Structure 1
Amino acid sequence: MHPAPSAFPRFDLSRLLRTVFAPRRAERIALLIDLPDPRRVRGFAFLDDPSLSVQRLAYEVFFEGLRHGVRDELGLAGGDLFAYAETGGSNLDLPCEAFDVSGNRLLFDRDLYPRFDLFLCFSRFSATAPLTAKAKAFGFRGATLHGLNRTILASGLSVDYEAVSRQAEILRSGLSGADRFRIDYRIEGVPLSLTLETAGAEAQKSHGLCRGEKPDIVNLPAGEVYFVPTGAEGAFPYRWEDGTIAIVEVFGGRARRARLLRGDPARVELYNRRLAEDPAAGEVGELGFGTQELPPAGADIQDEKILGTFHIATGRSDHLGGPLGPSAFRQPRNATHDDILFAPFQTPYVEAPQVRMERGAETRILLEEYRPGPYFRQLLGRRE
């Protein structure tokens, strides 16, 4: 059972910003949103479109919250809102231009990145990878909150991020040094397995704290331990939004081809054509485990942080410390980072009997059917 949103403290913007950023007085903060037509930020015209719920929450909760007390309470400056054009894909580079609420056209590299110390980005498509690259170049900090909704506000953004960080560190330390991970799947009676090599690497964590002067971008909600695999072999199930399901074959560290299980063959053919034309799009660039007890929110930015879930990702990995940035792709539109989440509330058609870690001579069971297995329970001090 997942906790209900009502089990969490009331959302407090001041507490969230203070805990995550520990902002210094007079630091300048800016809010970014993506829009199909970014010019509609002028006069807040986008608020007339009910489909733009993420952007509306950015305005109502964060923009208005900063204006009406939180900015002054924390000693911050700015609080401006800017819009850019939707990128059309997860973690694609942002356009060069943005617009302010007066309708002025601005350039990110000239007018925004050098001017602000903190950025909060609310969007349909994740901007974590491109903002991470720009943070390193311009020296700012920030957070991406793509897919924000009211469940996330009431739960994943209302937690104590000091506690989130501590729990993520426990699991990070417990997984560090792993040689490989093995995932067992079963879908419609078909057993599959995927092996991800990690070559003894230190695990990394997404824990929500972004303090000090070091440039960085965090996901909010946070709560994840992850690796950038050095190799991958096997297969995994993949589902498109229309319900088409395929089995994706992996070797040499990359997804190579999908086999239709049921649904629309055209979907699978298009996917296979993309892999053939731009092989980097199939690179297995992440293995991640959720570390928090949260309710499902219907948005991967929170759902992949839930303890018991796990995800892999294909494509871009430079924002995670991996080798693949936009230049590795033959077509710029393919330079995405695409998370593939496995969770009982999102992929009930996929059984996940076990996820195991191998380190030296030891094999540890991490998860069993989307529940913490013996090793995770040991690390977290649980008996169940």
Structure 2
Amino acid sequence: MLDVKKLLIDVFDPQPGEVVTFAVDLPRDDVPDHEGWSARRAMAERWRGVMAEIASERNFEVRPILTFVASGANNADLPAEGRLGDDDVGLMDALKASTLVIAMTEFSATAPLANLAEAEDDFRAASMPGVQERMEGTALAADYSKVAARCKAIFDIMDGAVLCDVLFSTGHRCWFDLRHRMPEMDDGFLPRGKEGDRIINLPSGETYVVPYEGEFEAVPSWTAGTIPVMEEEELVLFHVVANTVVVVEGEGPVAERFAAFFDADAARANIAEVAFGVNDRAEVTGEVLEDEKAGFHWAFGRSDHLGGVVGVEDFESPESVVHQDIVYAEGNPVQVERAVIIHADGRQVAVIDKGEYKF
């Protein structure tokens, strides 16, 4: 079984004087509790206990569990109020008072935590939406030195590239515009004072980038093509132009639902991420937090927390905000046959070929 103490030390290396906070979201009337969610809150208490043991050895503070009412949507803004143990607190103030936040939530808090990490000099966070105890035997137990090496290899390939050409197992193809962007690595290491992006998912293991979204005048995005999505055994096609899903093709209820979803808020149709998950212990079970670490994925919706330009203000309302990943790893109904990174000088490097990673 996973040595949680070793994992926390290896990933975060907490230092004397730090303030560590574990955060969880709570059910509300229209978002009822379930067994996995309550188990996650218990897992947070257990991990907090392990961190407190480390704190006694390293002389830092571990605060009571910070709770807040669930936002109800992945990467939506967080509520204003929360509770730190038995005390009512302003949620942002409680988060800012921490040097390290570990968020073990039902709904992803990655976007608001990423924005906080960008604004605060001594703040970092691990976002763990949907984490399950069983992952202590899978993706959380990975050799993160090897994961980091694979992330770096793909980062080096993507750095300075102009296109990512993806051929799906269905025969459909999409080109993702990598111009005007810098890739990032979620490699499982988040020590105090880390340079660059100071937020990770845990489990970790991906190199990602936000495709160019066409924000420069007279410079349209090159992202275009057809992305297949299989849900409830129904194949739906997302036709993409200028980094936006413009047509949803399909004849069943899933296609109707996606079409209505994008029509309700144009910002949702933004192509917000393209990424390569490289955690070899990750298993595909339908839980996106782990699934996405197992292979290629892309996302639609909000992107500002990953280096893009589409934020909360671009949506019809805060309640409409979304950042949703769709995964194409082994075990998913649709996979990636080939993914090639293209540079301006014509150099092409295959990251995936014949369905297999080359790195």
3-state SS of the aligned residue for 2:68?
strand
How far does residue 194 in structure 1 lie from its aligned partner after superposition?
0.7
Inter-CA distance 201–134: structure 2 relative to 1 (3 Å threshold) = closer
Question: Where does residue 203 of structure 1 map in the other structure?
Answer: 183
3-state SS of the aligned residue for 1:157?
helix
3-state SS of the aligned residue for 1:296?
coil
Stretches of structure 1 that go unaligned for 5 or more consecutive residues are 1-9, 39-45
Query: Are 1:237 and 2:239 matched, yes or no?
Result: no
How far does residue 131 in structure 1 lie from its aligned partner after superposition?
0.8
**Amino acid corresponding to residue 337 of structure 2 in structure 1:** P
CA distance in 2 between counterparts of 1:367 and 1:49 reads 37
Query: Are 1:125 and 2:107 matched, yes or no?
Result: yes
CA distance in 1 between counterparts of 2:158 and 2:266 reads 29
Question: Where does residue 168 of structure 1 map in the other structure?
Answer: 151
> Of 287, 293, 297, which aligns to 1:305?
293
3-state SS of the aligned residue for 1:247?
strand
How far does residue 233 in structure 1 lie from its aligned partner after superposition?
0.6
3-state SS of the aligned residue for 1:15?
helix
CA distance in 2 between counterparts of 1:134 and 1:183 reads 33
> Of 241, 257, 265, which aligns to 1:251?
241
TM-score, scaled to structure 2: 0.87
After superposition, give the CA deviation of every residue in 1:230-252 in whole Å (9 maximum; x if it has no partner).
13111111234x44431111111
- Aligned residue-pair number: 342
After superposition, give the CA deviation of every residue in 1:44-81 in whole Å (9 maximum; x if it has no partner).
xx8x9665222222123x123234x2321232212310
Check the 8 A contact 2:302/2:322 in 1, yes or no.
yes
More strand by share: 1
3-state SS of the aligned residue for 2:299?
strand
After superposition, give the CA deviation of every residue in 1:176-232 in whole Å (9 maximum; x if it has no partner).
222111111244xxx311111112744221112222335822111111111111131
Inter-CA distance 161–344: structure 2 relative to 1 (3 Å threshold) = closer
Query: Are 1:93 and 2:83 matched, yes or no?
Result: no
After superposition, give the CA deviation of every residue in 1:75-101 in whole Å (9 maximum; x if it has no partner).
221231021112222111111111234
How far does residue 129 in structure 1 lie from its aligned partner after superposition?
0.7
How far does residue 369 in structure 1 lie from its aligned partner after superposition?
4.4
**Amino acid corresponding to residue 361 of structure 1 in structure 2:** G
After superposition, give the CA deviation of every residue in 1:342-363 in whole Å (9 maximum; x if it has no partner).
122122xx25322222222223
Question: Where does residue 219 of structure 1 map in the other structure?
Answer: 201
Question: Where does residue 341 of structure 1 map in the other structure?
Answer: 327
Check the 8 A contact 2:101/2:124 in 1, yes or no.
yes
Of 193-202 and 317-326, the range deviating more from structure 2: 193-202
> Of 114, 117, 126, which aligns to 1:143?
126
The 5-angstrom pairing of residues 270-349 of structure 1 reads: 270-296=257-283, 298=285, 299-306=287-294, 309-347=295-333
> Of 245, 250, 264, which aligns to 1:260?
250
3-state SS of the aligned residue for 2:193?
coil
CA distance in 2 between counterparts of 1:290 and 1:340 reads 12
After superposition, give the CA deviation of every residue in 1:307-343 in whole Å (9 maximum; x if it has no partner).
xx20111111111111111111122222211111112
How far does residue 297 in structure 1 lie from its aligned partner after superposition?
5.1
Question: Where does residue 11 of structure 1 map in the other structure?
Answer: 2
Check the 8 A contact 1:54/1:146 in 2, yes or no.
no
Question: Where does residue 68 of structure 2 map in the other structure?
Answer: 84
Stretches of structure 2 that go unaligned for 5 or more consecutive residues are 213-220
3-state SS of the aligned residue for 1:304?
helix
> Of 52, 65, 73, which aligns to 2:50?
65
